[in-house]
Structure 1
Amino acid sequence: MVPIALTIAGSDSGGGAGVQADLKTFSALGVYGASVITALTAQNTRAVTRVEPASPAMIAAQMAAVFDDLDVRAVKLGMLGGAEAIAAVARGLCGCARPIILDPVMVAKSGDRLLPQDAVAGLRHQLLPIATVLTPNLPEAAVLLDCAPAQDEAEMIRQGHALRALGPQAVLMKGGHAEGAHCVDLLITPDGITRLTAPRRATRNTHGTGCTLSAAIAAGMAQGMSLSRAVARAHGYLQGAIAAADGLGVGSGHGPVHHFHAVWAHA
C-alpha cells in the first residue's frame, strides 16, 4: 500500500506554502497526503491579507477522522495559528507513535506574522517535547529560545542543542537567513551533527521553502527512511525545487518553489 503522510497546517490560497505545498511535496515524492486545516489564509506571493483560524473542535474532528481510517506513517506540523489550535493538536497527538516533523511556522515570506506571540509558549511546552525533529530557521530558533538569531555555525550548533534540551529528538537548524555564498543546514541529533550545504541561489522565488523541506522529511519517514536519510533526500529535493523556481513565473512577489521540477516535462 502507498505510504501516507498527514500535514496539519494552514491553507495558502496562493498555493505556494502551507497545506498546498505539503500535499504537492508528498505527491512529488510518491506519498499519499492527508490534511488537517488549522487556519484559512487569504494570501498571494505579495502579502497575507486575512487569517481565519479553524475552531479547536474542527481541528480535533479532522484529526480524529484521518487517524480513524488512514494508516498514517508520519505527521508534519506547520502553521497552527494560535494557542487554542496548538492545544487541540497536542491533545490529538497524545500517545502518537508516528514520527512528528515540527516546522514552527511564525512569519510568512512576505513578513506577515502567522503565530501570535502569546502562542509561542504553547508551541514550546506542548509540541516541542513530542517532536521527532524540529526544523526552525534562524529567526524561529531565536524566538523559541528568546535570544538573538545565530550569526555563525558555532552559534547555530549551540542553539540547536538548546532547542533539543526542550524535548525534540533532533533539530534541523536551517541557515537560509544567514549570509555567505553557501547555505548551511545543521542536523543535530544524539549521535552527532550532520552538515548539509548548497549554493545560495539568486532568486526571490523561495515562497514555501520551509513547508516544502519539512514535508519532504515527513514523506521520507512515511516511506520508512531513517531521519538522516529522509533529511538528506529532502535537502536535495528542495534544492532542485529552488533551482527550477524561476521557470514557473507564478505571481509578482516571492513566487513558489517548483515542487514538480522532476516530474513536469518542461522542468
Structure 2
Amino acid sequence: MKWERARKSRNVEDRRGRRVAAGGGLGLGGIAIVVVISLLFGQNPLELLGLVSETRTTVDDSPGASAPDPTDEDSQFVAAILGETEDVWRVLFESRGAIYPAPTLVLFTGQVRSACGSASSAMGPFYCPGDRKVYIDLSFFDEMERRLGGGGDFAEAYVIAHEVGHHVQGVTGSADAVNDARRAGREIDGDGGLLVRQELQADCYAGVWAHHAQNRHQWLEAGDVEEALATASAIGDDRLQRQSRGVVVPDAFTHGSARQRVRWFRTGFEHGEPTRCDTFEATAL
C-alpha cells in the first residue's frame, strides 16, 4: 500500500510514554470492547474488566499531547490514513450539503484517559463519542498479526477506518438507535442485535472510505485487499469465540460473524456509497 501518497492529518495526538491515572470508569461501549478483546486473547472478561478498573498509576496529568515525530514511520502512517479519511468523508458530507467534523486520533501506550473513562490497551482501538476521539495503542497491530495471522498496512488502515466509521455514525445520528436502546435497558447484543448492526455498519463505512481512497490515489498493491478481508474475517465473533471457547455462541455476538464482517466491508468497498450501509434496516446481515 502506497500510503505516502495521502495528505497527513494534523489531528493526531501522541500521548505515548505518558502515564495516566485510572478513574471515571468505562462506558458501556468500552465494556463491550473489553469483552470482545478478552475473548480474542482467551481471557475471562470479568477478570480483564477488573484489571482495567482497578489499575492505578502515578500520573503525568499535564494537558495536551505532543505532535507525532515526523521521523516516526508508524505515526506518519496513522496520520496519512487519518488524513485520507478526513478528505474522503469531507467530500461525501459536502455532496449532501453537510460539513464533516473531523475526529482526533490519540496514540497511547498502556493506558489512556478519555471522556469515556480510563482505558487499557487490552481494549484495543476504540472511539469515544464524548470527546470525538479515536484511541489506538499501536501494539494492537502487532498482536493482531501475531495472534490472528492477519495484519499488513491496508489491514491496519481498515481498523483505523472502522473506528472513524463509528465517528461518522455519531455525527450522522445512526448510532442513536443503539444509544436509545441502552438507555431504555433493552438487549442490544446477540446475532442480529443492534450492537452487531452498528459494528457491521462501521465495517461498511470503512469499505466506503477504501473505495474512494483507492480511486483518489490508486495506492493499493497486490494482496492489500485480501489482507483487509482476512483481518475482517479473523475478528468475526464466531472465529474469536471458537478460538477462545471452542464453541460459537451467537447470543453473545457483539461485532458480527466473519462472513458478515467481510460481506459489509465488501459492500462499502465495491459501491462506495454510504446509503448501501444501512445495516439497521437490513433484513439479512
Q: TM-score, normalised by structure 1?
A: 0.28
Q: Which has the higher strand share?
A: 1
